[in-house]
Amino acid sequence: MTKRVAIFISGGGSNMVRLVEDMQAGGHAATPVLVLANDAEAGGLKKAAALGVPTAVVDHRPFKGDREAFQAALQAELDKVQPDILCLAGFMRVLTESFVAPWEGRMLNIHPSLLPKYKGLHTHARALAAGDAEHGCTVHLVTPALDDGPILGQARVPVFAGDTPDDLAARVLTQEHKLYPAVLRRFAAGEQARLDL
């Protein structure tokens, strides 16, 4: 039974594109059924449409901080397409327990650090400030605690002298684009053993 995947984005959606392209490449247990953004200007929406994936927008701003109402609107869009798996890919809104709990075990996220190091924002600058010799990205199951769920995969990159946060972000992003599709392909096939690239 092909698994139905919805993907949440907030911006360019480069991770979303790789996930969709890999699902469309064949031999994959999942198919993309929705790309949803919290901003109508998100560049990833056009990319998703060009790949033939239905899109939706639920702008968080009209909800003026009413997280529960925003999350109910998100869930209403998901109810329309009945996904089996939800992937967060560059989605920059915090989701609370009331949204996450029903999805626990079926909701994935990619975070640009080697969790549990550097939960939250500005991960590349923090790794540089700490003088880390390596950095990377993590795909994990989403739980109500931010950036904290069981790890499904990690990819590592070296940190070079003189790296700026942008240099490091670009190096990590190339690994994200390999790791997330590989993890989703396995996850959709029922494999949850950790993948380290």
Residues in contact with ligand GRF, shown as a per-residue x/- string from 71 to 110 under the rule CB under 6 A? ------------------xx-------------------x
The yes-or-no answer on residue 111 being catalytic is yes
Angstrom distance (rounded) from CA 5 to CA 121 = 26
- Please tell me which residue in 111, 124, 140, 177 is annotated as part of the active site: 111
Whose CA is closest to 152, among 108, 114, 113? Answer: 108
Question: In this complex, which beta carbon is closest to ligand GRF, that of residue 110 or of residue 195?
Answer: 110
Interacting residue with ligand GRF among 34, 36, 85, 112 (CB under 6 A)? 112
Using alpha carbons, list the distances in angstroms from residue 122 to 5, 127, 136, 175: 28, 9, 13, 18
**Contact flag: residue 38 with ligand GRF (CB under 6 A):** no
Q: How far apart are the first and last CA of the chain?
A: 28
Which range of residues in 12-20, 27-35, 63-71, 74-82 is near ligand GRF by CB under 6 A? Answer: 12-20
Q: Are 57 and 37 in contact (CB under 8 A)?
A: yes
Angstrom distance (rounded) from CA 7 to CA 62 = 21
Which residues belong to the active site? Answer: 111
What are the residues binding ligand GRF (CB under 6 A)? 9, 11-16, 89-90, 110, 112, 173, 176
